[in-house]
Amino acid sequence: MSYIEFQNVSRIYQNRWYALQNVSFSIGKGEFVFIIGPTGAGKTTLLSHIYFKEFPTSGRVSVLGYSSDTISRDEIPFLRRKIGVIFQDFKLLFDRNVLKNISIALEVTGESPRNARRKAIEVLDKLGMADKAEKMPNELSGGEGQKVAIARALVREPYILLADEPTGNIDPESSEEIFKILKRVNDRGTTVIVATHNYNFLEKVVRKRVISLKAGKIESDEKFYIK
Amino acid sequence: MRNFILNEALGAYKSAKGMAWVSTAVSFTLILIFGASLYLSLTIFGILQTERRNVEIDVYLKEDLPREMKERLYSTIQGLAGVKDIDIVTKEEALKIFKNRYPEYSDVVSVFQDIPFPESFVIHLKPTWKNPELMEHIVKEISVLPGVDEVYAGTGWIARLSKISAFFITVSIVLLIGLFLAISYVIYQTIRLIINSRRELIEILDLVGATKSTIEIPYLINGTLYGFVGGLFAAIVLKLSLVLVGTLLSYHLPDHWFIYPLLVLIGLVIGLIGSYLSFEEILP
């Protein structure tokens, strides 16, 4: 079953610059996909199309049954509730503690504060961060900050987890830990898509797919199932 | 969700810092000025209405007018458009009225051999005819009738009062438009400032699937609060000022009770519109 489908997708900025050019692929349930390529290759733009932050100039993107051709503004939040996104800069809220940073993802969609808090603690516990629940983001290390961001993305139990350069701002040891978490998430059936230019981590995932982008075009799309 | 929205609305209030006070103070001042102007307009309008209700035209008849002529004059006036009914005031009744009204001068009239007051008709008008222009028209018609000595309607001061009332109503309308623009602009700028300081939060809420209304409502509540608090304080200060003025003048000032909830409502609506416009412009 295809969760994500790009059909001849092009994204042009300022009428002349192609961020994506005629990109086509489909990603199914439970896949672990690396989107690789140098800076400016179009990795972030591609991810942005998956959670409909951006729309193609031409072509069509379909995600979990929603199509870029037909999705309305009002439907986008409902799609986003099924997708978790993490970023290089974590995007944490510095005016509230770790627990609030995570539970906010549930509270804004109608979950009671009590349930949101319980689920946030559960996720933090799974990531070995339960003792940091009351800490403020500025009291965390880079690796811990990214774990909180992952916890926020996972607390809604998403179908798809998107990670845009998730290890870009953290030390190698923490990066390794982050990848272990992403693998564990993928093992439970969540589709994980990681955009990175850190190729060292590719070999750490056994069953994977690697889509290589260059200047907005797909250069290669390979699947690896055997080490 | 309710908790989230209320917490964020409160958080937004804190983010605004000094601007929150500026917005509230501007709303308060302008709504208070409007409230005072509206109060004056309504009070003058009320006086005008009361006076109009009591308005009548006095038609003084010439001396020694034959009975048939009086009856003909009575019928002619009764037939004029706008005339509701007519009271006949005889010389004796006129004297009685004078003595009742000016008891200190009652001795003065006794020096006359005859009663010095003329016979008159007091004309009561239909309600829709009780305005200076129409009354002037009736006065002109009556003045030329045979047997009429003089006609008095007192339309001059009613016309002046009408002009004053119209002036205050115009001022109130201009103030309402002015205050609408000024308050909504200040609240619009405040909410703009808040949204800019909380862009990261909004971005995250958008990312985790919050609907536009969930993101928007805290800011709408916030903007509405500035207008509401401004309107509420304006209503309280206006009421207290009127009580104080009434006490100082030892006079019971008329109380237009609906002004107070109206001021609060105006503040609330302008606050809501200002914050809505701001949100729609920055985050459409």
Query: Are A74 and B4 in contact (CB < 8 Å)?
Result: no
d(CA B235, CA B47): 23
Contact B207 A81 (CB under 8 A): no
- In a domain? residue A63: yes
Can you give the pLDDT of all 284 residues of chain B as single tens digits?
Answer: 777 788 777 777 777 677 888 888 888 998 998 899 889 888 888 887 787 777 788 899 888 888 888 889 999 998 988 888 999 988 888 888 888 888 887 777 777 777 888 889 999 888 888 777 888 888 888 889 988 898 888 777 777 777 877 887 888 888 888 888 888 888 888 888 888 888 888 899 999 999 988 888 988 998 898 899 999 999 999 999 999 998 998 888 888 899 999 999 999 999 999 889 988 887 76
Delimit the domains of chain B by residue range.
Answer: 2-50+164-282, 56-153
Interface of B with A (CB under 8 A): 1, 3-4, 11, 200-201, 203-212, 214-215
Tokens for A43, please give them: 């990795």
pLDDT tens figures, A157-186: 999 999 999 888 788 888 888 888 999 999
A47 domain-assigned: yes
Neighboring chain B residues of A156 at a CB cutoff of 8 Å: 208-209
CB-based contact, A93 to chain B, within 8 Å: yes
Print the domain residue range for A30.
2-93+162-224
Least confident of A64-78, A93-107, B108-122: B108-122
A12 lies in a domain?
Answer: yes
Is the pLDDT reported for residue A227 higher than 50? no
Residue in chain B nearest A154 by alpha carbon: B208
Q: Among partner residues B200, B203, B208, which is closest to A105 by beta-carbon distance?
A: B208
Decide which of 3.30.70.260, 3.30.70.3040, 3.40.50.300, 2.30.30.180 is the CATH code for B56-153: 3.30.70.3040
Count up the domains in chain A and report the number: 1
Of residues B53 and A153, which shows the higher confidence score?
A153
Contact B209 A152 (CB under 8 A): no
Q: Which of A80, A91, A110 sits opposite B1 (nearest CB)?
A: A110
Residue of A67 and B152 predicted with greater confidence: A67
User: For the residues of chain A, what is the DSSP string, one character each?
Assistant: -EEEEEEEEEEEETTTEEEEEEEEEEEETT-EEEEE-STTSSHHHHHHHHTTSS--SEEEEEETTEETTT--TTTHHHHHTTEEEEETTTT--TTS-HHHHHHHHHHTTT--HHHHHHHHHHHHHHTT-GGGTT--GGGS-HHHHHHHHHHHHHTT--SEEEEESTTTTS-HHHHHHHHHHHHHHHHTT-EEEEEES-GGGGGG-SSEEEEEEETTEEEEEEEE---
Q: Give the best residue of B207, B215, B217 to mutate against chain A (max A CB count within 10 A).
A: B207
Q: Is A128 on the interface with B (CB under 8 A)?
A: no
- Band (pLDDT 50/70/90 cuts) for residue A217 is very high
pLDDT tens string A11-30: 999 888 899 999 999 999 99
Residue with tokens 């804004």: A108
Is residue A206's pLDDT more than 80?
A: no
CATH number (domain holding residue A200): 3.40.50.300
Predicted local confidence at residue B284, as pLDDT: 63
Does a structural domain hold residue A40? yes
What is the predicted pLDDT for the residue at A4?
96
Least confident of A129-138, A211-220, B5-14, B175-184: B5-14
